[in-house]
Structure 1
Amino acid sequence: MEEESSISKSQRARLTCSECYRRKIKCDKNIPCGTCIKRGLSDLCKREEQVSSGQNALAHPSRNEQRPHGDLVRTLLDRVSQLEAKLDQGKEPTRVKTLGMEIDHISSPFLPANAHRQHSNRNVISTSKDTENTEGDEITVLEFLAWGRKKNADFGDSPEDANGPRKQSVGLDSSSITTDFMSANIRNVQLDMLEALLPASEHIKQLVEYHNKCLLWYHGSYSSKTMNDDLHTFFTEYSGSPRHEDLNLQWLALLFAILCCSITCSSPRTCRSWGFSNAERNSLSLKWYEATVTCLNMARYIEVHSIYSVQAISTLTISAHILGLSNSQSVLLSSAGRIAQSLGLHRLGSETESASSTRDQLRKRESARRVFIQLCIQDWFSIPFSDSYALDPRYWNTVKPLNCNDEDMSPQPQSIPTDASYCNYRYDIAALMPQLLDAVSNCNTLFTKYEKVLEFDEKMRKLVTAYMPTFLSTGAPVASSWPPFVSWARRSLTICAAHKIIMIHRKFLGLSFTNSAFSFTRRTCLAASKTIMKEALSAVDENGPILWIEQAFTVAACIIFSLDAFHRNPNENEYEEHRKYVSDGITYLKRFENSKIATRGVQLLSSLQQALEVGRKRPRDEDTEDPCPAEKRVKFDIKEFIKQVSQNLQVTTPAATPIAEQMESAAEIAWDNIYDLLPPGAGFGGQNLFDDFFAFHP
């Protein structure tokens, strides 16, 4: 008793408020404290009531040193025994619902559940910490702490949630910590380069404003309102200098990413209005991409995880492919996915009705949801090319972002365009891909696999008709109150949806040229390719943004026209029609002198045209009554063609799985050989088409 009395007398009442103590951030010990007032939590700012000695012992083990070690060990062993007993009882772990798909929903019809979910998921899904931290996690949590990692991180409670450009304070993360690879001199040189690359404040504001209005709708990787506030802090408190010792370099990486995308994706007319020449634009776009990666590396982003690194990498996607840096971008996106999970972005369930959140707090969580679904889109659009995906929707519970604007955060109907609406709808399209992969993987014959392809073809068609938001429908009038991106979004979606149909049928496109059982695929892909060409060639907006998908998918459509022409008689009407499409595509792509996608696409399509012309001049057998006989096929050595094009473009031919034994004719292997060279993610969300095939050696 005397011992316990002495311990209790030695304990001093904690003056730090409960909110600051829970978040492990600085508190001025006033009630309400300055930190809580700034965060809008003054009503929650209070000191904890007197805690029991048992709670105090758990919270402060160092104050319980007088307790015998044997008792502590015995307590832990008892706890382990209890957990093992519960496991032996066969209690199944809690299964969480997913963003847009429950586990059972993977095999069920997608569209009706999705349409209902848009209105009801926020009231159904719960993020109670009691359900997230299931029984048995305590041991894993302790083990992760020994690794220096935190299990089940809560992004909403993260101290960096309101840091902005301020450097995050995380204990071991200190600028004084250097390695053999990063000396102080090298760091100074890098800071000098970053300082030289950063434009004047007026240019920065112009480029950020352009990105917020003309590009952010397409990827939604950050909050425009938050970015504007942070930019004001950067100029007022840090004088706009990258060398400030308290500047968060991961936030600076996001700023460089925004600048890079603005100057890369803006039209030549817009770029000239800012005062940038074409030569300076070409140089700065690449340098700003590299500056983004430099900032991330200097901030040790792979060790010190931050939402800003995830946002920076996700933002870079729309410029990386135009710059020909898809290989680098795919690696960065993979790391961003792991960082996002480490931060708990995959566990951002619905907002509970009892939660007291300020508008700023809601904006932070919504921006985190937006960047996470963008990572999902990137990952799932790569499925047709990698036959795998990293972000499995069965194992996280982040809900789809609200359809709202950053300024007021007020939910709007699905028919009203907002900062989040286009990406939300594109997410619904991307969500078909993991379902299709899982369905096809469970089939064992071409017939049953093709049945699944036709099933998802129908789902895709319904999704872009019955479930399309009104503002994206080309038949609906454009309201004067709608933002200017609506017209760009309509064209982009039309091209994307057409390309998505091609992606669903991709595995059977090669066979469709020779096997009548798959003729529906051939007709469907040709119709989709014509839609892509029609939309791309009709674009006349000289002030609108340049989106990489319009160029990449034009190349994809022209490849399909070329392959179809290889399997037609030159006397057929379609033969000349499709050759004309390819010629028009080449003319269209030549307009984009600054795009590596367009430049390399011109070279590839020109080579295909030459091969088609040579094959047409070769003599054919006369008895060709069959509309699709083998003798009618243009003789085309696909392997030799790939070898020659690779040499001309100074690239190494990617490894492809030999399929000659299964498909002996050039007609059957043409599609697979060409498209096996495509990089992961050549979907219409933010990965590139053909960059592995066309990427020049550095």
Structure 2
Amino acid sequence: MDGDAVGITKSQRARLTCTQCHRRKIKCDKNIPCETCIKRGLGSFCSREDNAESRLATARSTSEEFTVSNDLANTLLQRVIDLEAKLQQQTNPGTEHLDDQDYTEAPSADQEETVTPVDTTDCDAATVLEFLAWGRTKDVDFARAPEHDSGPRQHAMSREDSPENTSFWAETSNRAQLDVLEALMPSRSHLCQLVDYHNHSLLWYHNSYSSQIFSDDFESFVTKYNGDVHYDQLNLQWLALLFAIMTGSMTCASPATVREWGFSDAEQPILSKRWYEATVTCLNLAHYIETHTIYSVQAIATLTISAHVLGKSNSQTVLLASAGRIAQSLGLHRLGSDPSNMSTDQLRKREAGKRVFAQLCTQDWFQIPFSESYSLSSRFSRTVRPLNCNDEDMVLQPSSNPTQSSYCNFRYDIAALMPELLDATASCNTQYTRYEQVLQYDDKMRKLATASIPTFLAADAPLNVEWPSFASWGRRSLTICAAHKIIMIHRKFLGLSFNNSAFAFTRRTCLAAAKTILKEALAESDPRGPVIWIEQAFSVAAGIILSLDSAHRDPGEKEREEHKQLAARAIEYLRKFRHSKIASRGVQLLSFLQRELDDTSSSRPEKRPRSLVDGRSGTSRKKARLLDTQAFIRNASQSLGVVSPAATSASEMSMNVDDNPWDSFFDLLGPNTGFDGDLFENFCPA
């Protein structure tokens, strides 16, 4: 073999171009590293080898890979034999160990973290080994995995993702997308302002990442890597999290704050949308579906605060579903109690995992009224509630003290009731028994809010000057979200409540909730505070309920005109949010309803005395239909571009008002609308 190599070397001229340029058939200056590789960011991979060395290297590589594969097979086979032996011992334990087992103490929380994974591996050896063949791991120890705290530095590059295995067209496309990302990156001072604003003014609302960990990583990005998106070893999933944070800040900051940063009013909506898309681009470039890290989960969860305003509700629904599966792959649903001897840094990392998983669960459970299903079940999760602490010191605080986790922890407790309500109503076979469950969970939420609401969120508690600014912002959001959650509990019976006196409590409750939402939304707010999108979304929901109630009242009734005027005020309020997609759709939808009410009022005959109406009693007599709801929903959805014109058949136009899906009004605003950061407050409907 060596002789052949020598012959080849003598008979052929040595190749001077580098390996990278030779494989791609592009120009090379024949220096190592060459200028072409340096420009493409592949300087560290630039090398030269002659034909003989190349063939010898290929032969050696093949031989080495065969040897490694053979050794790996032998190792795995021996591991299977050892595990089977352990399983046999556990199945038939010796009698001499029985006395010891009877007096063995239960493992502590500290021991549980280390003992449980070993036992699981031993008992589930076949599954563990099968997962290895798929390129996956089972029972991942998230807290100890180095790829989840690498920050902006890419932890490792798989063989499939290495430059040698990347096609020319894919590499060219990736480079072009990185060029666009570079063009979207603002100055360093702007980056610092956006990150700082999100940490202090928005993170309390979703709690999807650790401000301390991210701030340290961000410092490395701007100092060590000079904020360069083309950096060879840059972790693009971490970069996705940075873009998600920037998106949230630009979307939720008040116009005055945006101008103070130096951005124009015209730039705000453009950059918000482009940065959202940049986040998704980074995720795709990093192959986040295949390569699972905590950063992709945090990026997706963080995007939720801006997605609906930007008209990205459908995209966000799919991203959240993928984030839930990735989180389970990382073992975030198995983060149990923290060992007592854990370092502060390790505790902070575990808490970051708990927090983002709690946010994913909350998002999943709050969308139940729209999808009638959920993906993340608490029955199969060992992750405990995140600690009420701040990132800086990780010191546990009383529940009455506001921390970065307080608001979201309380929201999580409320969200956990939603899958229970769905399961309870799914097992019922009549409207009567389903309604009993609705009333039961209505009562549960009120009691939970009364007994467990943190002091800083209670409307009747004085504000402590030492509390952070988000304490007052949280109270406003809480009042609005709480009222909306009551509406969601009663949603399935809202349409029936307009005509069936058995469900009159639902009508009174939803009307009171709608008025509460608009009262809080229309009240003066902190001009320096963030603009949280739920204020717009839930105001639309309130306007819908008031309009529907007006449609079921006679023209002479006082409440009809009162509720119609409140809906009109909601329209004027929503017009202020010029760049919000959900506010824009809400204005169109509520304006359609207002025109329909005006048309039906002018075409309806004067109300006749009760004694002349066919002798039927008032309780059994249904009100005349003022609004062809099914036709309205079809026309409105087409106008808003939510469904195609052929989505509704012509035969549905003549449906009776009692059979109409009233909750379809809310679906016109997009999936998951109104289910981010939702809380509940102790409000009692009149």
TM range (shorter): 0.7 to 0.9
Evaluate the alpha carbon distance shift between residue 623 and residue 295 of structure 1 in structure 2; reply closer, same or farther with a 3 A threshold: same
Q: Residues 68-107 of structure 1: CA distance to partner in whole angstroms, max 9, x if unpaired? A: 98x9887677677778999xxxxxxxxxxxxxxxxxxxxx
SS in 2 for 1:254: helix
1:234 matched to 2:225? The reply is no
The match for 1:381 is 366
Name the counterpart of 2:672.
681
| Secondary structure, aligned partner of 1:429 | helix
How far did 1:679 drift?
Answer: 4.3
Q: Distance in 2 between matches of 1:658 and 1:454?
A: 35
Match 1:556 to one of 512, 528, 541:
541
Aligned length: 589
2:245 paired residue number: 258
Residues 1:224 and 2:211 aligned together: yes
Which one of 133, 146, 155 corresponds to residue 159 of structure 1? Answer: 146
8 Å contact kept, 2:335–2:382: yes
What's 1:397 paired with?
Answer: 382
Residue among 567, 570, 573 paired with 1:588: 573
Q: 1:571 aligns with which of 556, 575, 578?
A: 556
Which has the higher mean CA deviation after the structures are superposed, 430-439 or 60-69?
A: 60-69
For residues 287 and 68 of structure 1, what CA distance do their matches in structure 2 show?
48
- 1:363-512 alignment runs, 5 A limit: 363-512=348-497
- The counterpart of 1:150, out of the listed 137, 149, 166, is 137
Q: Which digits, 9 at most, give the CA deviation of each residue in 1:229-277, with x for residues without a partner?
A: 1111001110110000011011011001101110111000000001111
2:159 to 151, 163, 172: 172
8 Å contact from structure 1 (residues 265, 547) kept in 2: yes
Q: Which whole-Å CA distance do the structure 1 matches of 2:262 and 2:554 have between them? A: 53
Supply the distance in 2 between the matched residues of 1:142 and 1:345 (Cα, whole angstroms).
21
1:181–1:502 CA distance, 2 compared to 1 (3 A): farther
Separation of aligned partners in 1, 2:247 and 2:610: 56
Alignment CA distance shift 1:486-1:76 (3 Å): closer
Shift of 1:180: 6.0
- What is the aligned partner in structure 2 of residue 90 from structure 1? none
2 CA distance for matches of 1:635 and 1:263? 43
| Contact persistence 1:503–1:683 (CA under 8 A) | no
Scaled by the length of structure 1, the TM-score of the pair is 0.79
Match of 1:632 in 2: 623
Aligned: 1:622 with 2:622: no
Identity %: 56
* Residue matched to 1:515: 500
**Counterpart in the other structure of 1:647:** 638
Q: With the length of structure 2 as denominator, give the TM-score of the two structures.
A: 0.81
Whether the 8 Å CA contact 1:217–1:423 is kept in 2: the answer is: yes
Deviation at 1:125, TM superposition (A): 11
Which secondary structure does the structure 1 equivalent of 2:388 belong to? Answer: coil
**Could you tell me which of 108, 113, 116 is aligned with 1:130?**
116
Say whether residues 1:300 and 2:291 are aligned partners: no
For 2:588 and 2:110, the matched residues in 1 are separated by 52
Q: Give the CA deviation at 1:62.
A: 7.2
What CA distance in whole angstroms lies between the structure 1 residues aligned with 2:111 and 2:501?
Answer: 47
Alpha-carbon distance change, 178 to 421 in structure 1, aligned in 2, over 3 angstroms: farther
SS across alignment from 1:492: helix
Deviation at 1:171, TM superposition (A): 3.5
Checking the alignment, whether the CA contact within 8 Å between 2:344 and 2:394 is kept in structure 1 is yes
What does residue 359 of structure 1 align with? 344
Q: Does the aligned pair in 1 maintain the 2:365–2:418 contact within 8 Å?
A: yes
**CA-to-aligned-CA distance 1:603-641 (integer Å, 9 cap, x gap):** 000000101111112234625465577563343222321
Question: Could you tell me how far apart the structure 2 residues matched to 1:415 and 1:405 are?
Answer: 14
5+ residue gaps, structure 1 = 1-59, 87-121, 688-698
Whole-angstrom CA distance in 2 between matches of 1:462 and 1:124:
35
Structure 1 residues 573 and 85, CA gap change in structure 2 (3 angstroms): farther
Q: CA deviation at 1:650?
A: 3.3
What is the identity, as a one-letter code, of the residue corresponding to 1:347?
R
- 1:639 corresponds to which letter in structure 2? Q
Aligned equivalents of 1:657 and 1:457: distance in 2?
A: 34
Q: Distance in 1 between matches of 2:412 and 2:178?
A: 38
1:191 and 2:182 aligned: no
CA shift for structure 1 position 126: 4.9
Deviation at 1:421, TM superposition (A): 0.5
The residue identity in structure 1 corresponding to 2:431 is L
Cα 1:74–1:291 shift into 2, 3 Å: closer
Range 618-627 or range 508-517, more displaced: 618-627
Following the alignment from structure 2 to structure 1, what is the Cα–Cα distance between the partners of residues 194 and 72?
57
Question: Do the aligned residues in 1 keep the contact of 2:333 with 2:382 (CA within 8 Å)?
Answer: yes
Tell me what 1:604 maps to. 589
Q: Tell me the distance in 1 between the aligned counterparts of 2:219 and 2:528.
A: 27
| One of 259, 264, 286 as aligned partner of 1:272 | 259
Match of 1:243 in 2: 230
Paired residues of 2:388 and 2:398 also in contact (CA < 8 A)? yes
In structure 2, the residue matched to 1:309 is 296
State the SS of the aligned residue for 2:163: coil
- 1:669–1:125 Cα change, 3 Å: farther
CA contact (8 A) 2:313 2:671 kept: no
Secondary structure class of the residue paired with 2:319: helix
* Pair member with larger Rg: 2
Structure 2 equivalent of residue 206 of structure 1: 193
Distance 2:169 2:72 in 1: 42
TM-align CA RMSD: 3.0
Q: 2:316 aligns with which of 319, 324, 329?
A: 329
Query: Quick one: distance in 2 between partners of 1:574 and 1:306?
Result: 54
Q: Distance in 2 between matches of 1:615 and 1:303?
A: 56
Query: What residue is the counterpart of 2:657 in the other structure?
Result: 666
Provide the C-alpha distance between the structure 2 equivalents of 1:516 and 1:508, rounded to a whole number of angstroms: 11
Contact residue 497 and residue 506 of structure 2 kept, 8 A? yes
Structure 2's unaligned 5+ residue stretches are: 1-67, 94-107, 612-616, 679-686
Q: Between 414-423 and 223-232, report the one with greater CA deviation.
A: 223-232
SS at match of 1:232: helix
Whether the aligned pair in 2 keeps the contact of 1:83 and 1:136 (CA below 8 Å) is no
Name the SS for the 2:462 alignment partner. Answer: coil
State the SS of the aligned residue for 2:289: coil
Query: Residues 66 and 173 from structure 1, CA distance in 2 versus in 1: closer, same or farther, beyond 3 angstroms?
Result: closer
**Contact kept in structure 2, 1:635 and 1:666, CA below 8 Å:** no
Query: Structure 1 residues 636 and 83, CA, compared in 2 at 3 Å: closer, same or farther?
Result: farther
Contact 1:363 1:409 in 2 (8 A): yes
Match of 1:41 in 2: none
Shift of 1:66: 9.4
Q: 1:568 to 1:309 in 2, by over 3 A?
A: same
What amino acid is the match of 1:230? D
Mean Cα displacement is larger for which, 125-134 or 274-283? 125-134
Moved more, 202-211 or 671-680: 671-680
